[in-house]
A = this chain, B = another copy of it.
Amino acid sequence: MKKSLGARTMPMPAPVWVVGTYDREGRPNVMTAAWAGICCSRPPCVAVSLQKVRYTYDAIVARQAFTINVPSQAHVKAADYFGLASGRREDKLARAGLTAVASELVDAPYVAEFPVVMECRLRHTVELGSHTQFIGEVVDVKIDEELLAPDGHPDVARLGLFVYVEGYWAVGERLAEAFSIGKEMQG
């Protein structure tokens, strides 16, 4: 029997992505966003939604660029902090002991210590209500070299990913191959 919970958001699950930007003065800042995801394959695009009060909002508008930094489980505390504090008042990266590196391709910094980075150029801005959705074209993905498997794909088990579902949860065991296990149901 299903119970109705009303009109609400329900992360099932949501990613934990850290958005990297330079502000108008060129200071690097990061904030954590969970209202986010991939939204197109060609061109490769990601969407991330922010409230206008966020310091990162002004930075994306000013620089027309951002990075998506994927934290590993070693950085849960920093990722949570990046969602709580504002870059208007604190140098969040310094406090977390993390390093901003200038992207080669877009006007935004990335977090050196996080395993995966997507460098994004702003393509679309969609006003939705409490949140503005920024859609960025991914011009490069960077990954820690030692986290690539011999076949050139990310070694997912060693990435230490986690997700947001009322709290942070580890990505655990591999269940099945995609675009494969379902074939036996096909007509």
Contacts and interface: CB of A to CB of B under 8 A. Distances in A.
Contact of A45 (B6, B34, B81, B129): B129
Interface residues of A, number: 100
Contacts of A170: 171-175
Copies in the complex: 2
Nearest to A177: B167
A59 to B, nearest CB: 19
B184 A77 contact: yes
A139 to B, nearest CB: 5
B9 A81 contact: no
Interface of A: 1-15, 17, 34-45, 47, 49, 68, 70, 73, 76-85, 89-90, 95-96, 116-118, 123-124, 126, 128-131, 133, 135, 137-145, 148, 153-154, 156, 159, 161-187
Given A12-B116, A172-B172, 14 more contacts: A1-B145, A9-B38, A12-B17, A12-B159, A39-B126, A45-B129, A76-B176, A84-B179, A89-B187, A90-B186, A167-B175, A168-B181, A169-B173, A169-B175
